[in-house]
């Protein structure tokens, strides 16, 4: 356990930024936190969490895959990948840190997604334990401890300063870069901070949410439940929930014809969109109720089916505060889950 | 040392078939020149010009877009240019509001008899765009390499 | 108010005026209400809600509901009735299938304002006179309603219902000087460079979630051109600044003269982009170029882009650098 | 993928001198989809067309791009050639590399580059072209002539002669127009009435011709072959069917103080009147502005005296809807009122008159029964001064007058001068002119007779001032040849005022969607080759509404217009423009945005059943376009937010493909 006095936080960031691109949550013009590249003078946001999740670092909304150049009647294929930069993300919360595991389980298994893998390899995640979780938080429901997040390095804001613990080799390496600024820290300060956080979590209205009746093996029971219709009735079919979600991982591959050639890129897709999984024969999910069901079944049943019971949701609460019509996974769980009735 | 290439603007001119395109023909047969940077697209009427086409042109690398139609009152289809005028008025005002240079877009009414006006307008417009320089604010970098 | 509405809805279901009621359903924290269809008195009693957080404009749902048949009762706030009229004018909904209950509105609250003021851990919100009493896990907090008022309600254009079959609460008046164009004017007063910077700053945050479009009562296209690969302009993501501009310019243009300024686009934008400032620019321009026009005021009125005057302003005379 | 053939025309040296045609052919030959690319000296020639046809056959072309002159010139030629080879004509596109390239650019490299880019744009468009089939629309075998002057009369008679129905709409109570007011005609000096009124009678008696007198065109809808016109029959308060034209009412009417418009206000008539003895139709009309009965409800004398009960004070304007295949504008002219020329004294001196007023003063049916008496004291004038070009041939900056020559004034002034000298040899006649213009058969001879035989004083010069002093008009003028200032004491001054199109022409042009020039004369489709057609299909031009003309010219143009109309009406069906709007019902919202901008009412809506998701059906309101009515302007395509409405031949995709090709690096 290392300790960094808050007074030296800036030096700490500077030391990291010297050899890495350092990203951390910063308040934007609307007072909402978003990840920005650190530079001298950048102030870290005091918000609980960023508006968009940290998945963007490994799985950006759009990325170029390759290009085709056309000259008259000939076509040339160009690999557009460039050497990736080393980067550090500071201030990732437990929920987003947990989401990386879910993304890894999709993109790092065979066939490995090389674009994702490269980014993962070059990225170091420094998590920050939550001090004051919000009413929309329900990570506890999925066994995530907001007071003890994963990541290459875990940090706690304590009365004695910022406490840092390296969890991986990458994490050790990062802390060694800043060794000059760090002192040995006292575990007890961390425990005290964790104690406080956990007390708050106990009081949060959604901490008691139950997953009973949901999870692996429940497809048959849940798929045809009549409640889907009422739940999805108000859904606008926008992609907000999926785009702010740290675990949504679907993408679409598109070609952009520049007139001189094709740029093939991928971009996030949303199962809420009417053209999601559109195939030559048409669409397999024609109505919003089907698309809506797909999203929540995926998070609550299909993913657990394939991952030994782990849910595809990390309880970050972003969809709760961002959905234009306030329909969300919690309402779905409460309606369909056994114990929440 | 890299040689500095002279900036040659790309200009798209949407011309209605009945008046302005004929005006361009008259400019041609009268040998009234205007810069080769101006390329004409023939449309039946100015009311055929969709704001999408104008943005598309900017996206694809145009530095200026001009729409030319029959004089108000002289539309071959009675009212097409009146509707076009409202559409373009609003669109151009919006582009301006977004901080996109006002001078990059223009509407002119040029009749079939106004070859000289066609040539003059295109010369002026090309000069304006050349002075403004490259379109940066509505560019799509993907189309530029 | 809520109880009156509930009672009336139950009556309307019972007397066969409608077979379902479109209203708001309560959520977990008082502020997270979901538009919902209520088919029975039990459903209404259990979860119907109407208060300062019943923000959603329900009119757009009527497009879908009219296709489903039957008879629908709907609660519409004054600004929602403008959208309703506009949908009627464009034949997107059928008047005879809808029973409109106009409900009074004195402005809706935006929970983000409470949160920005540092109130967190919200478990419930109650209205007490001119205040909201916010229960949090850290204890109760009292906030003046005015301080929590949503951005769009600060410049409310009208408290008057443009259409209804019956009213609950009173219908107010059109607000003469709503100040809703103040920000547009401020932007117009900037230099083009400043305006460009402003809009880049805003639009660059767009994640193309389509919430603005999908919530918009004027955006009811069977298929949006941006979703239609055959249109040649389909976009799935805001890949770069051009596409951000393109999407929002064209969307604003497509609703120009049709947008009732209900403000839903800005309300739902997860990135808090002030999209209403695009629509208001068109509204302001239409007013100043072609005479006052309020979409949704009169379903029989001819829209500004569907008519013309011989001496209309020339494109070259509009816009320009005002700074 | 299309198989496209590209043909670069040299146009002799018109193109080839400035554009490296070989380089263009070579560059375009490398474009995707292009399977054949060549250049040729004259693509429009028979052998050029054969070259294209051979290539279509040999290379199995599905699309053709011709880089040549303006499509307005030869698009039809190349499309026809392609059609002969079995290729849909709408698979042919033209890149205009003559008017837009070779004729305006000097630098060969620059011109060649631009020609290649325009060629690429055309190729990009052809890739998206679809074969189009033109529909047909029937032709209503009836023509409308707007205006019943000599132009309208002649056109109507000729059309009727060919066996087609014709309606004449005349805004005055009688046909006849300006010619009916003229006394004698130059250069033959026969009496206008003697040659006009038999034609008016012919019109009245022709079964194929229907006259709507005292009527105006209210609205015009439709398109060539299928116009729907609403005609407003203004209330004349006299039943046309019953009135026999006996004239008793016009004698008994107690209201005698109405300025007589037919006599240019030089005398008065009654409130109920027949403009002149030979009026057609010979039916009385009540001038509601003066009729005592209409104004006060007290009188009713005409009704009392009318033997057939034709008087109807309650008559209302009536709208008659008629269908036509062709419309002829024959709206004529008016002499300008020279009130704005203070120096010429028209507004202040009674004895300063216009030429048309002089016609009435010399006419046997006029206010003075044919004896030339001046208006002020009804005395015979002994010195008459004619002023030419009043309001004609003015500088562009001169807002008082017209820039054009009114063409007829020189001749009618010679006529007036000659007639006065012949009838009243004791009268001195002066003519002040800028130039004397006499091109026309027997015109110059006529003018010389006035000078040489009749001793008219022609003075090249301008009249500076006319003032009245004790019954004499003091005329101050300059003789440009001698450089002297002249002072003439005249008894009568006659102003040859400019001819200007009738005021009603502007609104009629708008209704007809026919274009006008800045002087409000109708524009012809081609100044030389199509002088009697308007650029709008189905609209023809007859008489002075197209430009100043004398009577023989008007009559020949009237007959020419009739010939064009007959050519149109002789067809049973017209081929429609296949480039019309089309609505994709799957995308249509039924919102009516398109309908509101359609000038032709071509869009209608219907509720249709569609397949919804998961075996459901739903009913949606969708637009459909009447292809025969649509003229292909494309206004609807932009009004449509969903992109459901598109224009064949100029589709969104096609235009954007052109944009892309032009803007490409």
One domain for residues C306 and C240: yes
Mean pLDDT of D520-530: 83
* Mean pLDDT value of segment D315-333: 97
C93 and C120 fall within a common domain? no
| Candidate from B17, B62, B84 with C-beta closest to D663 | B62
Q: Are residues C161 and C215 in the same domain?
A: no
- At residue A83, the pLDDT reads 77
Best mutation target among A80, A135, A278 (most C Cβ atoms within 10 Å) is A135
Tens of pLDDT, residues D365-413? 999 999 999 999 999 999 999 999 999 999 867 778 999 999 999 999 9
Is residue D548 scored above 60 in pLDDT?
yes
Are C203 and C298 in the same domain?
Answer: yes
Confidence at residue D458, expressed as pLDDT on a 0 to 100 scale: 96
Does the residue C264 lie in any domain? yes
Span D240-266, mean pLDDT?
94
pLDDT tens digits for D551-580? 999 999 999 999 999 999 999 998 888 999
Percentage of residues of chain C with pLDDT beyond 70: 98
CATH architecture of D581-648: 2-Layer Sandwich (3.30)
pLDDT at C320 over 60: no
Range of the domain at C241: 182-317
Q: Say whether A259 and B142 touch across the interface (CB within 8 A).
A: no
- Token reading at C133: 């009493």
Q: Are residues C92 and C118 in the same domain?
A: no
Average pLDDT over residues D633-656: 96
Residues B102 and C320: beta-carbon distance below 8 Å:
yes
Q: How confident is the model at residue C113 (pLDDT cuts 50, 70, 90)?
A: very high
What pLDDT is stored for residue B1 in this prediction? 44
- Mean pLDDT over residues C184-208, rounded? 95
Interface contact D486, partner C, CB < 8 A: no
Question: To the nearest whole number, what is the mean pLDDT of chain C?
Answer: 93
Is the residue at C173 inside a domain? Answer: no
Q: How many domains does chain C contain in total?
A: 3
- Compute the average pLDDT of residues D84-105: 96
Q: What percent of chain A has pLDDT over 90?
A: 86
Residues 6+ positions from A247 with CB-CB distance below 8 Å: A55, A99, A102, A103, A299, A312, A313, A314
Q: What is the pLDDT of residues C154-170, one digit of tens each?
A: 999 999 999 999 999 88
C298 shares its domain with C234: yes
Residue A340's pLDDT band (cuts 50, 70, 90): low
Return d(Cα C293, Cα B133) in angstroms, integer.
38
The pLDDT value given to residue B3: 52
Residues in chain B closer than 8 A to D632 (CB atoms): 44
| C to D CB pairs, distance under 8 Å | 58
Q: If contacts are CB pairs under 8 Å, which of residues 34-63 in chain B contact chain A?
A: 60
- pLDDT tens per residue, range A1-14: 899 999 999 999 99
Asked whether residue C21 is assigned to any structural domain, the reply reads yes
Residues of A in contact with B143 (CB under 8 A): 258-260
Strand D318-324 versus strand D226-233 pairing type: antiparallel
A256 and B CB contact within 8 Å: yes
Class of domain D4-128: alpha beta
Q: Residue B31 and residue D104: Cβ atoms within 8 Å?
A: yes
At D181, give phi and psi (nearest 5°).
-90, -15
Chains near C with 3+ CB pairs less than 8 A apart are A, B, D
Task: For A67-94, write each residue's pLDDT tens digit.
Answer: 999 877 788 999 988 878 899 999 999 9
H-helix or E-strand spanning residue A288: helix A288-297
ipTM value of the model? 0.94
Return the partners of chain B (3 or more C-beta pairs < 8 Å): A, C, D
Residues B93/C319, Cβ–Cβ less than 8 Å = yes
Report whether C32 contacts C96 (CB < 8 A). Answer: no
What residues of D are in contact with residue B48 (Cβ under 8 Å)? 633-635, 637-638, 647, 650, 655
**Residue C101 shares a structural domain with residue C119:** no
Quote the pLDDT of residue C322: 38
- Measured between CA atoms, the residue of chain D closest to residue C227 is D642
pLDDT level of residue B29 (50, 70, 90 thresholds): very high
Q: Which residues of B touch C237 (CB under 8 A)?
A: none
- Spatial CB neighbours of D296, under 8 Å, sequence gap ≥ 6: none
Rounded-to-integer distance, Cα A323 and Cα A328, Å: 7
Sort out which chain B residues have CB atoms less than 8 A from C199's CB and list them: 98-99
pLDDT digits (tens, 9 = 90+) for D443-472: 999 999 999 999 999 999 999 999 999 989
Inter-chain contact A263–B142, Cβ cutoff 8 Å?
yes
Which pLDDT tens digit goes with each residue over C91-101?
999 999 999 99
Contacts 24+ apart (CB under 8 A), D354-359: D354/D264, D354/D494, D354/D495, D354/D496, D354/D497, D355/D409, D355/D412, D355/D413, D355/D416, D355/D494, D355/D495, D355/D496, D355/D497, D356/D178, D356/D181, D356/D182, D356/D264, D357/D264, D357/D266, D358/D416, D358/D494, D359/D181, D359/D182, D359/D183
Under an 8 A CB cutoff, do A259 and D32 touch?
no
Which residue of chain D comes nearest to B39, CA vs CA? D662
| Burial readout A238-253 (b: 16 or more C-beta within 10 A, e: otherwise) | bbbbbbbbbbbbbbbe
Question: Smallest CA–CA separation between B3 and chain C, in Å?
Answer: 29
Identify which of B47, B38, B39 has the alpha carbon closest to the alpha carbon of residue B18. B47
Q: Is C137 on the interface with A (CB under 8 A)?
A: yes
Report d(CA D385, CA D217) in Å as an integer: 41
Looking at every residue in chain D, the average pLDDT score rounds to 94
Q: In chain D, list all ranges with CATH 3.50.50.60.
A: 142-178+215-332+516-526+537-566, 333-500
pLDDT at residue C321, as a whole number: 41
CA–CA distance from D378 to each of B91, D351, D387 (Å)? 67, 10, 21
Residues of A in contact with D614 (CB under 8 A): 286-287
What are the structural domain ranges in chain B?
11-144
Beta carbons of A62 and C237 less than 8 Å apart: yes
Residues from chain B contacting residue C192 (CB–CB below 8 Å):
96, 99-102
Residues of chain A whose C-beta is under 8 A from some C-beta in D? 70, 72-73, 257, 259-260, 286-287
What is the CATH topology of the domain spanning D142-178+215-332+516-526+537-566? FAD/NAD(P)-binding domain (3.50.50)
Residue among C232, C255, C306 whose CB faces D652 most closely: C232
| Predicted confidence (pLDDT) at residue A341 exceeds the cutoff of 70 | no
Same domain, C91 and C116: no
List the 219-278 stretch of C: residues with Cβ below 8 A of A: 223, 227, 236-239, 264, 267-268, 270-272
Q: What is the pLDDT of residues A198-241, one digit of tens each?
A: 999 999 999 989 999 999 999 999 999 999 999 999 999 999 99
**Would you say residue D343 has pLDDT above 70?**
yes
Residues of C in contact with D590 (CB under 8 A): 90-92
C92 part of a folded domain: yes
Residues in chain C closer than 8 A to A270 (CB atoms): 209
Nearest CA in chain B to A260: B143
Domain with CATH 3.30.70.3270 in chain D: 581-648
CATH code assigned to B11-144: 3.40.50
Any CB–CB contact under 8 A between C220 and chain D? Answer: yes
Give the model's pLDDT for residue D627. Answer: 86
Which chains pack against A, by 3+ Cβ pairs within 8 A?
Answer: B, C, D
The per-residue pLDDT of chain A, averaged, comes to 93
Q: What is the pLDDT of residues D55-68, one digit of tens each?
A: 999 999 999 999 99
pLDDT digits (tens, 9 = 90+) for B57-100: 999 999 999 999 999 988 888 789 999 999 999 999 999 999 99
- Inform me whether the C-beta atom of residue A62 falls under 8 Å from chain B C-beta atoms: no
Under the banding of pLDDT at 50, 70 and 90, the label for residue D26 is very high
- pLDDT band at residue A339 under the 50/70/90 scheme: low
Contact B142 A260 (CB under 8 A): no
Helix (H) or strand (E) holding D330: none
pLDDT at B2 over 60: no
Residues C208 and C229 in one domain: yes
Same domain, C7 and C101: yes
Q: Domain spanning D333-500 has what CATH number?
A: 3.50.50.60
pLDDT above 90 (res A337): no
Q: Which of the residue ranges A213-217, C278-282, D625-629 has the most confident prediction, judged by mean pLDDT?
A: C278-282
pLDDT the model gives residue B4: 57
Contact state of D30 with A286 under an 8 Å Cβ cutoff: no
| Residues C240, C127 share a domain | no
Mean pLDDT of D38-50: 96
- Residue among B38, B47, B45, B41 nearest B125 (CA): B38
């Amino acid at each position: 356990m290392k300790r960094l006095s808050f007074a030296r936080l800036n030096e700490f960031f500077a030391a990291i930024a010297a050899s890495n691109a350092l990203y951390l949550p910063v308040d934007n013009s609307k007072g909402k936190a978003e990840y920005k590249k650190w530079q001298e003078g950048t102030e870290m946001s005091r918000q609980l969490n960023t508006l968009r999740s940290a998945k963007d670092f490994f799985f950006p909304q759009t990325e170029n895959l390759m290009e085709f150049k056309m000259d008259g009647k000939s076509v040339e294929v160009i690999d557009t990948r460039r050497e990736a930069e080393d980067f550090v993300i500071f201030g990732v919360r437990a929920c987003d840190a947990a989401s990386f595991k879910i993304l890894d389980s999709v993109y790092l298994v065979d066939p490995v997604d090389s674009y994702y893998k490269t980014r993962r390899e070059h990225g170091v995640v420094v998590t920050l334990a939550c001090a004051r979780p919000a009413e929309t938080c329900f990570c506890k429901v999925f066994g995530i401890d907001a007071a003890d997040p994963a990541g290459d390095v875990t940090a706690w804001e304590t009365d004695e300063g910022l406490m840092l613990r390296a969890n991986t080799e990458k994490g050790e390496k990062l802390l060694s870069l800043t060794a000059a600024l760090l002192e040995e820290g006292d575990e007890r300060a961390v425990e005290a901070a964790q104690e406080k956080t956990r007390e708050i979590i106990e009081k949060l209205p959604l901490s008691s949410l139950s997953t009973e009746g949901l999870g692996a093996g429940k497809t048959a029971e849940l798929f045809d439940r009549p409640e889907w219709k009422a739940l999805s009735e108000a859904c606008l079919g926008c992609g907000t929930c999926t785009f702010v979600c740290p675990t949504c991982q679907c993408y679409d591959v598109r070609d952009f014809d520049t007139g001189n050639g094709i740029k093939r890129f991928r971009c996030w897709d949303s199962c809420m969109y009417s053209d999601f999984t559109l195939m030559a024969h048409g669409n397999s999910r024609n109505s919003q109720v089907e698309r809506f069901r797909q999203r929540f079944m995926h998070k609550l049943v299909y993913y657990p089916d394939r991952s030994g019971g782990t849910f595809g949701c990390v309880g970050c609460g972003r969809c709760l505060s961002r959905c234009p019509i306030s329909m969300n996974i919690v309402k779905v769980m409460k309606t369909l889950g056994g114990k929440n009735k | 040392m890299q040689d500095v290439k002279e900036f040659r603007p790309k200009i798209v001119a949407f011309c209605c078939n009945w008046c302005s395109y004929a005006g361009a023909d008259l400019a041609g047969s009268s040998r009234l020149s205007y810069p080769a940077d101006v390329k004409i697209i023939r449309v039946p009427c100015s009311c055929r010009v969709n704001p999408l086409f104008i943005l598309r042109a900017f996206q694809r690398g145009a530095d200026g877009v001009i729409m030319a139609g029959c004089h108000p009152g002289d539309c071959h289809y009675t009212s097409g240019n009146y509707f076009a005028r409202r559409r373009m008025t609003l669109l151009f005002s919006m582009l301006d509001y977004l901080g996109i240079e006002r001078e990059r877009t223009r509407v002119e009414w040029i009749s079939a008899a106004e070859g000289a006006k066609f040539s003059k307008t295109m010369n002026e417009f090309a000069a304006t765009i050349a002075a403004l320089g490259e379109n940066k604010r509505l560019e799509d970098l993907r189309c530029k390499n | 108010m809520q109880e009156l509405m509930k009672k009336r809805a139950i009556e309307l279901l019972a007397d066969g005026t409608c077979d379902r009621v479109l209203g708001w359903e309560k959520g977990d924290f008082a502020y997270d209400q979901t538009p919902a269809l209520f088919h029975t008195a039990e459903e209404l009693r259990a979860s119907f809600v109407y208060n300062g957080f019943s923000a959603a404009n329900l009119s757009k749902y009527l497009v879908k509901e009219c296709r489903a048949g039957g008879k629908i009762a709907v609660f519409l706030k004054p600004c929602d009735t403008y959208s309703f009229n506009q949908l009627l004018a464009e034949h997107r909904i059928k008047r005879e299938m809808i029973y409109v209950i106009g409900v009074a509105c004195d402005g809706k609250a935006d929970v983000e304002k409470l949160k920005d003021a540092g109130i967190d851990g919200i478990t419930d919100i109650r209205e007490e006179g001119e205040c909201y009493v916010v229960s949090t896990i850290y204890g109760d907090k009292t906030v003046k309603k005015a301080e929590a008022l949503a951005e769009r309600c600060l410049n409310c254009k009208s408290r008057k219902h443009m259409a209804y079959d019956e009213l609950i609460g009173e219908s107010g008046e059109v607000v003469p000087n709503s100040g809703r164009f103040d920000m547009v004017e401020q932007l117009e007063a900037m230099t083009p460079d400043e305006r460009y910077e402003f809009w880049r700053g805003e639009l660059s945050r767009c994640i193309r979630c389509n919430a603005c479009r999908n919530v918009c009562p004027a955006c009811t296209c069977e298929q949006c051109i941006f979703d239609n690969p055959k249109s040649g302009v389909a976009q799935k993501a805001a890949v770069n600044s051009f596409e951000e501009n393109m999407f929002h310019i064209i969307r604003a243009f497509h609703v120009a003269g049709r947008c009732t300024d209900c403000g839903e686009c800005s309300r739902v934008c997860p990135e808090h982009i002030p999209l209403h400032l695009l629509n208001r620019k068109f509204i302001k321009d239409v007013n100043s170029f072609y005479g006052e026009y309020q979409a949704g005021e009169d379903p029989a009125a001819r829209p500004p882009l569907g008519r013309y005057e011989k001496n209309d302003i020339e494109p070259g005379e509009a816009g320009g650098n005002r700074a | 993928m299309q198989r496209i053939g590209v043909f670069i025309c040299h146009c002799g040296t018109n193109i080839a001198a400035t554009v490296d045609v070989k380089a263009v052919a070579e560059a375009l030959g490398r474009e995707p989809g292009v399977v054949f690319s060549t250049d040729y000296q004259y693509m429009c020639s028979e052998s050029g067309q054969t070259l294209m046809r051979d290539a279509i056959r040999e290379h199995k072309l599905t699309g053709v791009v011709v880089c040549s002159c303006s499509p307005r010139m030869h698009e039809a030629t190349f499309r026809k050639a392609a059609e002969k080879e079995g290729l849909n004509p709408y698979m042919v596109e033209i890149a205009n590399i003559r008017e837009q390239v070779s004729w305006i650019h000097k630098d060969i490299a620059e011109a060649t580059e631009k020609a290649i880019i325009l060629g690429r744009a055309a190729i990009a468009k052809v890739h998206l072209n679809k074969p189009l089939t033109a529909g047909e629309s029937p032709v209503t075998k009836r023509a409308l002539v707007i205006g019943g002057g000599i132009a309208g009369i002649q056109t109507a008679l000729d059309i009727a002669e060919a066996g087609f129905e014709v309606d004449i709409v005349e805004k005055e109570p009688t046909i006849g127009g300006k010619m009916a007011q003229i006394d004698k005609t130059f250069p033959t000096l026969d009496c206008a009435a003697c040659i006009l009124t038999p034609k008016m009678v012919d019109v009245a008696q022709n079964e194929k011709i229907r006259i709507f007198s005292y009527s105006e065109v209210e609205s015009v809808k439709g398109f060539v072959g299928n116009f729907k016109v609403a005609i407003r029959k203004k209330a004349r308060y006299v039943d046309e069917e019953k009135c026999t034209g006996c004239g008793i009412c016009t004698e008994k009417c107690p209201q005698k103080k109405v300025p007589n418009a037919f006599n240019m206000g030089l005398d008065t008539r009654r409130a109920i009147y027949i403009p002149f003895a030979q009026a057609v139709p010979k039916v009385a009309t009540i001038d509601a502005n003066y009729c005592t009965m209409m104004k006060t409800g007290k009188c009713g004398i005409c009704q009392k005296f009318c033997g057939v009960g034709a008087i109807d004070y309650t008559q209302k304007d009536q709208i008659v809807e008629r269908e036509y295949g062709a419309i002829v504008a024959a709206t004529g002219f008016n002499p300008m009122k020279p009130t704005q020329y203070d120096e010429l004294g028209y507004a202040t001196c009674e004895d300063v008159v216009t030429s048309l007023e002089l016609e009435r003063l010399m006419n046997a049916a006029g206010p003075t029964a044919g004896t030339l008496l001046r208006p002020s004291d009804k005395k015979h004038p002994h010195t008459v001064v004619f002023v030419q070009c009043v309001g004609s041939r003015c500088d562009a900056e001169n807002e008082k007058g017209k820039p054009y020559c009114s063409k007829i004034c020189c001749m009618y002034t010679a006529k007036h001068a000659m007639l006065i000298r012949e009838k009243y040899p004791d009268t001195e006649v002066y003519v002040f002119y800028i130039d004397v213009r006499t091109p026309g058969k027997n015109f110059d001879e006529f003018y010389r007779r006035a000078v040489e035989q009749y001793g008219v004083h022609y003075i090249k010069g301008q009249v500076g001032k006319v003032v009245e002093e004790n019954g004499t008009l003091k005329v101050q003028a300059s003789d440009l040849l001698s450089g002297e200032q002249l002072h003439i004491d005249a008894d009568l001054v006659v102003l040859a005022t400019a001819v200007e199109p009738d005021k009603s022409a502007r609104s009629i042009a708008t209704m007809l969607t026919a274009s006008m020039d800045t002087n409000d004369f109708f524009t012809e489709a081609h100044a030389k080759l199509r002088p009697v057609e308007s650029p709008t299909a189905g609209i023809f031009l007859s008489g002075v509404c197209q430009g100043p003309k004398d009577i023989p010219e008007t009559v020949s143009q009237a007959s020419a217009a009739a010939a064009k109309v007959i050519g149109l009406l002789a067809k049973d069906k017209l081929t429609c423009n296949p480039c019309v709007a089309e609505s994709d019902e799957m995308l249509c919202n039924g919102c009516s945005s398109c309908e509101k901008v359609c000038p032709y009412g071509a869009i209608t809506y219907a509720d249709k059943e569609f397949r919804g998701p998961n075996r459901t059906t739903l009913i949606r309101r969708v637009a459909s376009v009447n292809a025969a009515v649509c003229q292909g302007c494309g206004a609807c395509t932009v009004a449509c937010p969903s992109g459901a409405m598109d224009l064949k031949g100029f589709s969104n995709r096609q235009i954007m493909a052109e944009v892309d090709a032009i803007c490409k690096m």
